[in-house]
Amino acid sequence: MARRDKVAIYGAGGFAREVAWLLSSVDASEAYEFIGFVEDGAVGGRHLNGKPVFSWERFSDTHRDSVVAIGVGSPQLREQLATKCSMFGFAFPTLIHDSVAMSDLVEIGTGSIVCCGTILTVNIDIGSHVHINLDCTIGHDVRIGDFATLSPGVHVSGNVHIGRSAFIGTGATIVNGTASAPLIIGDGTVIAAGACVTKSTEAQCLYAGVPAELKKRYLERK
């Protein structure tokens, strides 16, 4: 039997627990041994769903042979944690639930997580540390930038480009662009839950409603 990599999940919230469930799926469990959660400031002896919760200091001292899945929903925080882990030499697994339906024409970057029930069609390019949550659908010729988050039940039609660190809320729909004029979700933009995006958005903004309209401009978030 091939050696399984040890994997810890950075984070101890709801999504981190869902990633732990993903790791119990057949394909993931054959590749990885889940050793526990990592949480900044964690107190020794704490357990979550039967697994230990390590402080960062303890984990980085005693489990340098592990890989790290980052289980936090915030794109900005996820990027900070990925940077810290990389500085300590940790690698990142790419996790895809057994139930995901996808063609051979899908590229998925390092550290990305694709959850149960998602459908990925053809000619899709997904960056690094992207989270695609439960029951999402992604159509043809879609690009998703590094650290973007798709919440549960997001539907992305064809010829859409989603920017780096964008956050798409639960149940949002993004209609199709065209090959010559893709619909673009700007870097760092938030699409509110239930919104329907019918045209390209600016970067670093909040859009909500049906059809989605600009509600707020953010200062660039770190």
pLDDT digit string, tens, across residues 51-110: 999 999 999 999 989 999 999 999 999 999 999 999 999 999 999 999 999 999 999 999
What are the CA-CA distances from residue 175 to residues 122, 148, 157, 160, 183 (Å)? 16, 18, 5, 8, 8
pTM, rounded to two decimals = 0.94
Length of the chain: 222
CA distance 30 to 21: 14
DSSP of 78-125, one letter per residue?
A: HHHHHHHHHHTT-----EE-TT-EE-SSEEE-TT-EE-TT-EE-SSEE
Looking at every residue in the chain, the average pLDDT score rounds to 94
Catalytic positions are 140
Fold of the 5-87 domain: Rossmann fold (3.40.50)
Q: What is the pLDDT along the chain (222 residues), one digit of tens a residue?
A: 456 899 999 999 999 999 999 998 878 778 899 999 999 987 777 899 999 999 999 999 999 899 999 999 999 999 999 999 999 999 999 999 999 999 999 999 999 999 999 999 999 999 999 999 999 999 999 999 999 999 999 999 999 999 999 999 999 999 999 999 999 999 999 999 999 999 999 999 999 999 999 999 997 655
Place of tokens 């390092």: 110
Q: Which CATH class for the 95-210 domain?
A: mainly beta
pLDDT at position 41: 84
Parts of the chain belonging to CATH 3.40.50.20:
5-87
Residues of the chain with CATH 2.160.10.10: 95-210
How far apart (Å, rounded) are the C-alpha atoms in residues 169 and 144?
Answer: 15
E strand or H helix at 217, and its extent?
strand 213-217
* Spatial CB neighbours of 122, under 8 Å, sequence gap ≥ 6: 103, 105, 106, 140, 141
Q: Find, among 175, 136, 129, the residue nearest to 153 by Cα.
A: 136
DSSP state letter for 196: E
